[in-house]
Amino acid sequence: MTEHTSPSPEEVVKQPSEDVVEQSSKDVTKQSPICPDGTCIDTLGNPRFSSTKKTNHYITDEDGVLIFIEKQQFCFHDSQPVTFEEAGPRQSIYFDPPRTKCAIVTCGGICPGINDVIRSIVNEAHYQYGVAATIGIRYGLRGFIPEFRHNVMELTPRSVSSIHEFGGSILGSSRGPQSIVTIVDALDRMNIDILFLIGGVGGMRAAEKIYKEVQSRQLDISIVCIPKTIDNDIHFVSRTFGFNTAVDKATEAIRCAHVEATGAPAGVGLVKVMGRYSGFIATEATLGLQDVNIVLIPESPFKLEGPTGLLSALEERLDRRGHAVIVVAEGAGQHLLPENGGVDASGNPILGDICGLLVNRIKAHFKQRQRPLTLKFIDPSYIIRSIPANTEDSVYCGSLAQNAVHAGMAGKTGLMVSRWHDRNVHVPLHLVTKARKTIDPGSLYWQRALSTTGQSDLES
């Protein structure tokens, strides 16, 4: 399991007044239970129908998975450990399957496995529950906005039978905010009962707003999310789908950089991988391949100049071995670049070109010292995120998707389906959107990476 920075128990435990949903005049069962630990999952009402899911193993709402398993991190309320509700099929469900209409939307950038998730949602909803229809919303949340004139897609087991063999999303995607009011208007107008939103941190924030708007209108619409980010930076997810595939592909680029570096005198291979705020791909690929000599991530600032800077470390490496491989997460070293103040369509700061800076500074440094240098720069970013999922990720996608359908049919809402401590769980959206998962530079995980590369302390 990938190590990461988790919120402290104090961050997870919240006061009752902050998380209790006001009682609806429409249905008293819509009041969420008092939940001081902030992990309770909202439901649309009491289950009304027997499940049509064929299984001998049902999960109850009392089944839970510990959030913290280390003794020093136990978080208790009223002498009970804090848990996430376990995901899985319920014996009684809220929606009547023959009258249930589902919608799927993908938000943000693409990554391996999105089509696997779409396919598994459609198949589970159709074959296991017999829902009336599942539709796909085109090009992200803008597909709900009438002015864009994007037609919806009818999704059937036949139409999605082979989509898992391809990368990207058959529904397309988009970035940027859209009117939450208009989105909920569209959900209501199309008689959608369950919305499955596949997205990253930005998508989760949008989903939380949609969920609150649905609540305020007292609509019977379930909002269920599946975490999607190639950067693996969503809180309370052991790993996101597509991450393993991305690491596998990144190691191929690193291996090529190593071949280039060893094939020339004073050869340096510089590889850029994705990772805006979190350096999980760079770190995991470094640990997996062990051909990397310097790894740079957003969580660990570094300096270029001076006896403990990157340029001196690179010189020392070339003196010892004659070649070097450097892996850089795209968000690393932003403190070395001027801020442009710009943001992208999702509201993220536009990153500076750290690899462009490194290429220029490394070349200038060695030229000034009249030292030989052969530098090759490889950027496989868009290749990595556009390929189909590998077998491990494909299996994982199916698990997340199936449990998302179980949650939606049970009338659960305002949640993300996650994998936590090797169990499927429901995580309320307000916890998901509190922070972004990053690598702790003081963690054993990062120290293992430094031991693998042998690099000295480059922190500024």
C-alpha 237/C-alpha 416 separation (Å) is 9
The residue type of 105 is V
C-alpha 78/C-alpha 37 separation (Å) is 10
Secondary structure tally for the chain: helices H, strands E: 13, 19
Burial letters 323-344, b for 16+ CB under 10 A, else e: bbbbbbbbbbbbebeeeeeeee
DSSP 315-339: HHHHHHHSEEEEEEETTTTGGGS--
188 catalytic, yes or no?
no
The residue type of 419 is R
Catalytic residue among 37, 42, 193, 231: 231
DSSP 59-103: --TT-EEES--SGGG--EETTEE-EEEEPS--SEESS-GGG-EEE
Burial of residue 275 (CB within 10 Å: 0-12, 13-18, 19+) is: buried
Residues serving a catalytic function are 231
